[in-house]
Amino acid sequence: MKNILLGVTGGIAAYKAAEIARLFVKRGVSVRVIMTRNAQRFITPLTFQTLTKQKVYTDMFEDVFYEDVRHISLAKEADLAVIAPATANMIGKLAGGIADDMLSTVIMAMAGKPVIVCPAMNTAMWENPAVRDNVATLKRRGFAFAGPAEGVLACGDSGCGALAGVDEIVAIALSLLEKSAPGQ
């Protein structure tokens, strides 16, 4: 069974990540979810736990004993990571090599494995030169991107910045999983 790590960050599109998780499970993929603190303000860990039948990770320093170093074992177990939605903040952290929460730390430990970044933010943020530079940096490092899409955003603006379609995100991830399978 293939293992996908689904990272959920704090944007209004976080609710769409539940459908992404559901579609992966429907296709027989094991899904581990890591949520940032801000993501939990939009959708609860219980939603993902119910959909994936797996523990949801929210804190680097939770009061649970593991026999392993959890952020390293999660990275080793994952065949691929999807960050959906990926906020400008998370994109900046990853481009800058900042690992200060469970999600960014696990992604840093996944060197050499596919990571799909699915940006979702206001058009003005997406077009900000700092964000564009961070995206270019991640692309040079081998990160894949899905979106963003054009559309009406949560704030009412129209433009580029909406989360890519969930079917598109799932298709890209499954395609990368297939390409990275042994013997391919």
Residues noted as catalytic: 155
Q: What are phi and psi of 158, to 5 degrees?
A: -115, 140
- Tell which phi-psi region holds residue 57, choosing left (phi > 0), alpha (psi between -120 and 50) or beta: beta
Tokens of residue 113, six digits: 């494995």
Burial class (CB in 10 A: 0-12, 13-18, 19+), 113: middle
List 8's β-bridge partners, or say none.
35
Beta-carbon contacts of 113 under 8 Å, excluding residues fewer than 6 positions away, are 75, 78, 79, 80, 81, 180
Amino acid, single-letter form, for residue 9: T
